[in-house]
């Protein structure tokens, strides 16, 4: 009998130790969960505080400043959201017509759009229009109507000291009536009579 009681006592002691260990494990787990919850709550409170501070700063922006064109809008529509048919290059905007007309009508149409026939005064700009026109004929803002052989740009740019890109043998004033310039084969310039009908390129500054 004594051995049986001793065995039972040992079993009870083991069971108590087991429950104590289990209880300690549960307490540790609950403490860790409580700490995790406290840390999460603290981080959430800090984030919320920062968001509120940023929102307050944004509301302090002067009214006039919020109406300025955003950098995103400029990247999407550098020539203005209402001028999507215009193409941006080198600080200016260019319009490549889809219809043909005479030089003088082309000049007038550009002016109606608050622009001018393109003035090509650099190789960079020449490369741009040459790639864009792809061997089609496009009027540019160059003429010698006022005095034969005295070529002038429509905006007054000095023709004699700036870039030129005439086709070999041009300008030749064939028929004694070729007074307007257009882009021709490979984007080279050619003089032709001003009533000839071809496409045209308008140019204007980027809107402020």
- Rounded to the nearest 5 percent, the helix, strand and coil shares of the chain are 45, 15, 35
Predicted pLDDT at 62: 45
If you average pLDDT over every residue of the chain, what do you get? 82
Is the per-residue pLDDT at 11 higher than 80?
Answer: no
Cα maximum dimension of the chain: 140
The pLDDT of residue 67 is 41
Q: Can you read off the two tokens belonging to residue 6?
A: 């001793």
pLDDT per residue as tens digits for the range 158-180:
999 999 999 999 999 999 999 99
- Cα separation of 206 and 114, whole Å? 11
* Cis peptide preceding 80, ω within 30 of 0: no
Give pLDDT, residue 10: 54
Handedness of CA 99, 102, 104, 105 (dihedral sign): negative
- Record the tokens describing residue 107, joined without a space: 């000049």
Report the b/e string of 154-172 with b at 16+ CB within 10 A. beeeebeeeeebebeebbe
What are the residue ranges of helices labelled H in 113-179? 123-133
Give the mean model confidence (pLDDT) for residues 65-79.
60
Residue 187 pLDDT greater than 50, yes or no: yes
- Angle CA(171)–CA(162)–CA(194) in degrees, nearest 5? 35
Percent of the chain with pLDDT over 70: 68
pLDDT bracket for residue 19 (50, 70, 90): low
Per cent of the chain over pLDDT 90 is 57
Three-state secondary structure call for residue 53: helix
Q: Which residue has the higher pLDDT, 184 or 74?
A: 184
Q: Give the model confidence (pLDDT) of 46-59 as tens digits.
A: 555 654 554 554 44
Say if residues 91 and 198 touch (Cβ distance below 8 Å): no
- pLDDT category at 38 given cuts 50, 70, 90 is confident
Q: Looking at the predicted structure, is the pLDDT value of residue 101 above 80? A: yes
Q: How far apart are CA 12 and CA 35, in angstroms?
A: 35
The per-residue pLDDT for 72 is 60
According to the 3-state scheme, what is the secondary structure of 91-124?
A: CEEEEECCCCECHHHHHHHHHHCCCEECCCCCHH
Per-residue pLDDT band at 151 (split at 50, 70, 90): very high
The yes-or-no verdict on residue 137 having pLDDT over 80 is yes
Instruction: Give the mean pLDDT of 36-42.
Output: 71
How remote is the C-alpha of 164 from its chain's centroid? 30
Average the pLDDT over 140-152 and give the result.
97
Burial letters 31-45, b for 16+ CB under 10 A, else e: eeeeeeeeeeeeeee
């Amino acid at each position: 009998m004594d051995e049986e009681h001793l065995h039972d006592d040992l079993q009870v002691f083991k069971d108590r130790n087991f429950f104590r260990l289990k209880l300690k494990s549960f307490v540790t787990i609950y403490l860790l969960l409580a700490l995790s919850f406290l840390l999460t709550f603290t981080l959430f409170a800090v984030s919320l505080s920062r968001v509120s501070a940023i929102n307050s700063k944004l509301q302090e922006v002067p009214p006039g400043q919020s109406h300025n064109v955003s950098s995103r809008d400029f990247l999407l529509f550098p020539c203005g959201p209402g001028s999507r048919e215009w193409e941006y290059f080198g600080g200016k905007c260019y319009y490549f017509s889809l219809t043909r007309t005479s030089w003088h009508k082309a000049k007038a149409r550009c002016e109606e759009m608050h622009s001018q026939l393109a003035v090509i005064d650099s190789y960079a700009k020449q490369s741009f229009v040459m790639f864009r026109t792809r061997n089609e004929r496009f009027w540019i803002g160059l003429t010698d109507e006022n005095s034969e052989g005295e070529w002038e740009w429509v905006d007054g740019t000095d023709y004699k000291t700036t870039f030129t890109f005439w086709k070999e043998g041009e300008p030749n004033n064939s028929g004694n009536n070729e007074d307007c310039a257009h882009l021709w084969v490979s984007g080279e310039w050619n003089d032709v009579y001003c009533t000839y009908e071809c496409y045209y390129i308008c140019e204007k500054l980027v809107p402020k």
